[in-house]
Chain A
Amino acid sequence: MTVLVERHAPANDIALKSKLAKADRRRKLQALGLIAPLFLFLVVIFAVPIGSVLYFSINNPEVGTIMPRVTAALESWDGDTLPGEPAFAALAEDLKASYAAKTLPRAALRLNYEISGFRSLVMKSARKAKRFEPPYKDALIAVNEKWADITYWRYLKAAGSRFTAHYLLAAVDLDLQWDGSVKPAPEERRIYIDNLARTFWIAFVVTVCCILIGYPIAYLIATAPARWTKLLIVLVLLPFWTSLLVRTAAWVILLQKEGVVNDALLWIGLIDEPMQLIFNRIGVYIAMVHILLPFMILPLYSVMKGIPREHMKAAASLGAKPATAFIGIYLPQTVPGLAAGCMLVFVIALGFYITPALIGGGSDQMLAYLIAQFATGTANWGMAGALAMLLLLCIAVLYPVYNRFAGSGGIRLG
Chain B
Amino acid sequence: MAMPVHATTGQRVWHVAFRIICFLGFLFLVGPIVAIIPIAFSAGSHLNYPLPGLSLRWFEEIFIPYPWMLALKNSLVVASVTTVLATALGTLAAYGLNSAEFRLKPLVVGLLLSPMMVPLVITALAVYFFFARIGLIGTFTGLILAHTVLAVPFVVITVSATLQGFDRNMVRAAASLGARPLTAFFGVTLPLIMPGVVSGAIFAFVTSFDEIVVALFIASPAQFTLPRQLFSGLRDHLDPSIVAIATLLIVVSVLLMAVVEGLRARSERIRGG
Which chain A residues have a beta carbon within 8 Å of chain B's beta carbons?
Answer: 24, 27-28, 30-35, 37-39, 41-43, 45-50, 52-53, 56, 213-214, 216-217, 220, 223-225, 232, 234-239, 241-254, 256, 258-260, 263, 290, 293-294, 322, 347-348, 350-351, 353-354, 358, 368, 371-372, 375-376, 381, 384-385, 388, 391-392, 395, 399, 408, 411, 413-414
Contacts and interface: CB of A to CB of B under 8 A. Distances in A.
Interface of A is mostly: helix
Contacts of B116: 411
The 4 A-B residue pairs with the shortest CB-CB distance, nearest first, are A351-B119, A34-B96, A49-B126, A31-B100
A350 B120 CA distance: 11
B1 A220 contact: yes
B237 to A, nearest CB: 12
A213 B118 contact: no
Interface in B137-184: 145-146, 148-149, 152, 154, 156-158, 181
Contacts of B122: 50, 53, 351, 371, 388, 391-392
B125 A249 contact: no
Contacts of A391: 119, 121-122
Contact of B32 (A28, A42, A247, A388): A247
A358 B242 CA distance: 14
Nearest to A33: B96
Interface in B55-80: none
7 contacts: A31-B100, A34-B93, A45-B127, A46-B127, A232-B26, A241-B256, A253-B242
B189 to A, nearest CB: 12
B95 A34 contact: yes
A35 B97 contact: yes
B48 A259 contact: yes
A408 B109 contact: yes
Contact of B123 (A37, A50, A375): A50
How many of chain B's residues touch chain A, expressed as a range? 35 or more
A237 B257 contact: yes
B121 to A, nearest CB: 4
A372 B49 contact: no
A42 B130 CA distance: 13
A251 B188 CA distance: 48
B140 to A, nearest CB: 15
Among B11, B130, B145, B260, chain A packs the most CB atoms within 10 A around the CB of B130
B49 A263 contact: yes
Contact of B26 (A41, A235, A243, A372): A235
Given A28-B100, A238-B30, A413-B203, A46 B126 contact: yes
Given A28-B100, A238-B33, A53 B125 contact: yes
A258 B44 CA distance: 14
A379 to B, nearest CB: 10
Contacts of B115: 42, 46
Contact of A237 (B21, B125, B216, B261): B261
B216 A30 contact: no
Contact of B181 (A30, A48, A52): A30
A31 B129 contact: no
A54 B7 CA distance: 62
A50 to B, nearest CB: 5
A46 B250 contact: no
B190 to A, nearest CB: 13
B201 interface: no
B92 interface: yes
A345 to B, nearest CB: 14
A234 B260 CA distance: 12
A407 B199 CA distance: 22
A45 B86 CA distance: 13
Contacts of A32: 96, 100, 102
Nearest to B150: A46
B47 A259 contact: yes
Contact of B249 (A224, A232, A235, A242): A242
A49 B148 CA distance: 15
Nearest to B37: A250
Nearest to B85: A41
A288 B49 CA distance: 24
Given A50-B126, A241-B254, 16 more contacts: A30-B100, A34-B92, A37-B93, A41-B89, A42-B115, A46-B115, A245-B230, A246-B250, A249-B234, A253-B238, A290-B29, A351-B119, A358-B231, A375-B128, A376-B128, A388-B121
B257 A238 contact: yes
A354 B231 contact: yes
